[in-house]
Every structure is written in structure tokens, then in C-alpha cells.
């Protein structure tokens, strides 16, 4: 007789459970609740196995660190900002995203990674805010926008790929090794133009073929740039409004209707949207 978690089980079950443990250890669970970029938490990434047409699913810190950030102090300064010698505050550098149109330009911190360390960020959906400027009493738009959060996903896909680039870092003060990643962004498609109407950008979502090419292809700079700027079709995406306090809600993807908000149309019919991405 054997014991598992202190409970008596058959030998057969014990062996089976031990085998199950190994499978559980290798299963690509998401391992993280709703991911907020500014937490610099870890996100699931498909990283090419060196020299092979194969990949590992790993977790990387979302927030690309350039090679000159090689101590934990520099990392904190980079991400949180710091007071310079003159007492003035140096703001943090936000490197959650890399602009596809800029990243390959000479001297850009993302250039080397775009050429040699491309990866795929696994996503089930993402969040953006639509800015709406209410009208004032005299009929003029007010200066302060009301922000409506949206959850955006790819139709009929539980997971999809975003183009990414990654960077390794070994902190010289602690010896700790980490991998950091930035998500590539491109110009918004018609759906995302309406939602992310303040910046009109969107992550570079890739088709399966482009994802394969991005990860494994021996690509010219021109082709890297082309793929990085790929605009995923709006018709294949879906979006819905969600609670303004979704970051702390039990189901952040739950659809919430705002009566005052003009409905999104093409490609984003709220009524057709599933109540949950995973529903």
C-alpha cells in the first residue's frame, strides 16, 4: 500500500499519480493571472531552441531591458525612474512595446534583438481603452476624456501569437539571469483605430504562417520589417467593453454595456461577442 498526500492509495494509482506529476510539470499552464504590463511580470513566450526548428515555451519579464542595463539598480532606474545628480527626476523608460517602424533603425536599442532574437508572445486577449470626449454645455468637446476599457481577442482562437523580441540579462551585482521581452506594435487596423483611438496602435498579431516565419525564418531586414508591420485583419478580431474596474474584478473579460457609448460596428459586434473569451 502507498500513500499520496497522506491518503492511502493503491500501488497502481500511486505509480499513475507519479507519472501524472511529470506531465503536469511539463504542461504549459499560463501560470499568471491577468497580466498588467506595468507590473513587469512574466508572460508566456515561444522562444526558438538554438540551432533547431523547435521552440520552448518559457516565461519572460515583460519589459525589454537593453544590454547596458546589467545591474539590478540600473534595472530599477530604467523601469521606475530615478533622481539624477542634479536632483531632477529622470522618468522611466517604457519598453513594454517596440514600434515596428522604428526598431531596426541604426542605434535603436531593439535593433540587435529584432535581427537575432525574435520570439512569439502567447496571448488569449488584451486590453485597450477607448477615449471619448464628452460634450460640454456649449456643445464643445471637453478636454478630459472618459476612458472605456475593451477586451480584444482573435475570433475562434483561445490563444494567438504576437510578434516579440527578447533580450537576456545577467545582473552583475546578483548573478541572477533573466530574459525580458517587448511586444512589437504596428499601425491600428480599422477596429483598433476605433478602440485605441488615442494612439491608433495595436500589437502585431501574426497568422500561423507568419508566426512560423518570424520565429524560424532566416530573414532580411526588409522582411523582418514587413512582418513586424503586419496588420491583422479587423474582421478576424472581436472586442467588447468591460468593467472600468476590470483589473480587480472576478472575471475581467466579462462584457459590460455602456449605454452612452456608441457601439463598435464592423468586426466587433458586441452582441455576437462571447461573454468570455474562454466561454
Partner 1 sequence: MVELEKIFYIELAGQKLQVETATISKQVLFHICFPDHRKPFTISRIYSFDRQRFWTSIPEGRFREAQQIGPLIEAYYRAKQQIPETVSQTAPQEANSI
Q: Which is nearer to partner 1, 4 or 82 (CB)?
A: 4
- Give the number of residues in contact with partner 1, rule: CB under 8 A: 34
Q: Which is nearer to partner 1, 133 or 278 (CB)?
A: 278
**In angstroms, what is the minimal distance from the CB of 38 to partner 1?**
16
CA-wise closest residue to 205 among 228, 224, 181? 228
Task: Give the cell for residue 151.
Answer: 477586451
Q: Which of 4, 82, 212, 230 binds partner 1 (CB under 8 A)?
A: 4
> Does 219 interact with partner 1 (rule: CB under 8 A)?
no
Task: Give the cell for residue 99.
Answer: 514600434
**In angstroms, what is the minimal distance from the CB of 161 to partner 1?**
18
Q: Which is nearer to partner 1, 10 or 170 (CB)?
A: 10
**C-alpha–C-alpha distance, residues 182 and 65, integer Å:** 9
Enumerate residues 6+ apart whose C-beta is below 8 A from 169: 65, 67, 69, 70, 75, 177, 178, 179, 180
**C-alpha–C-alpha distance, residues 163 and 231, integer Å:** 11
Buried b (16+ CB within 10 A) or exposed e, 27-50: eeeeeeeebeeeebebbbbbbbee
Q: Which is nearer to partner 1, 11 or 143 (CB)?
A: 11
**In angstroms, what is the minimal distance from the CB of 216 to partner 1?**
27
CA triplet 45, 51, 57: central angle to 5 degrees? 20
**Where does this chain touch partner 1 (CB under 8 A) — which range of 18-26, 85-93, 177-185, 235-243?**
18-26
Q: Which is nearer to partner 1, 17 or 178 (CB)?
A: 17
Contacts to partner 1 from residues 128-187, by CB under 8 A:
158
> Does 251 interact with partner 1 (rule: CB under 8 A)?
yes
> Does 31 interact with partner 1 (rule: CB under 8 A)?
yes
**C-alpha–C-alpha distance, residues 26 and 80, integer Å:** 34
The residues that touch partner 1, with contacts defined as CB under 8 A, are: 1, 4-10, 12-13, 16-17, 19-21, 23-25, 27, 29-34, 124, 158, 248-251, 276, 278-279
Amino acid at each position: 500500500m502507498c500513500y499520496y498526500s497522506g491518503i492511502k492509495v493503491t500501488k497502481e494509482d500511486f505509480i499513475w499519480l507519479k507519472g501524472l506529476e511529470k506531465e503536469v510539470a511539463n504542461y504549459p499552464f499560463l501560470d499568471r493571472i491577468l497580466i498588467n504590463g506595468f507590473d513587469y511580470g512574466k508572460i508566456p513566450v515561444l522562444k526558438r531552441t538554438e540551432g533547431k526548428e523547435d521552440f520552448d515555451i518559457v516565461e519572460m519579464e515583460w519589459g525589454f531591458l537593453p544590454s547596458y542595463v546589467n545591474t539590478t539598480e540600473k534595472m530599477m532606474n530604467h523601469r521606475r525612474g530615478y533622481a539624477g545628480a542634479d536632483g531632477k527626476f529622470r522618468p522611466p523608460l517604457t519598453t513594454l512595446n517596440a514600434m515596428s517602424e522604428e526598431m531596426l533603425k541604426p542605434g535603436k536599442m531593439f535593433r540587435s534583438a529584432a535581427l537575432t532574437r525574435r520570439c512569439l508572445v502567447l496571448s488569449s486577449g488584451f486590453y485597450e481603452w477607448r477615449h471619448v470626449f464628452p460634450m460640454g454645455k456649449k456643445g464643445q468637446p471637453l478636454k478630459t476624456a472618459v476612458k472605456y476599457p475593451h477586451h480584444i481577442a482573435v475570433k475562434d482562437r483561445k490563444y494567438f501569437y504576437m510578434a516579440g523580441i527578447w533580450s537576456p540579462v545577467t545582473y552583475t551585482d546578483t548573478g541572477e539571469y533573466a530574459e525580458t521581452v517587448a511586444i512589437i506594435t504596428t499601425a491600428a487596423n480599422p477596429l483598433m483605430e476605433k478602440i485605441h483611438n488615442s494612439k491608433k496602435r495595436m500589437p502585431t498579431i501574426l497568422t500561423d504562417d507568419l508566426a512560423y516565419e518570424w520565429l524560424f525564418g532566416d530573414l532580411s531586414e526588409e522582411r523582418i520589417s514587413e512582418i513586424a508591420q503586419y496588420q491583422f485583419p479587423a474582421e478576424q478580431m472581436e472586442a467588447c467593453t468591460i468593467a472600468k474596474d476590470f483589473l480587480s474584478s472576478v472575471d475581467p473579460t466579462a462584457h459590460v454595456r455602456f449605454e452612452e457609448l456608441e457601439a463598435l460596428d464592423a468586426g466587433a459586434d458586441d452582441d455576437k461577442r462571447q461573454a468570455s473569451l474562454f466561454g
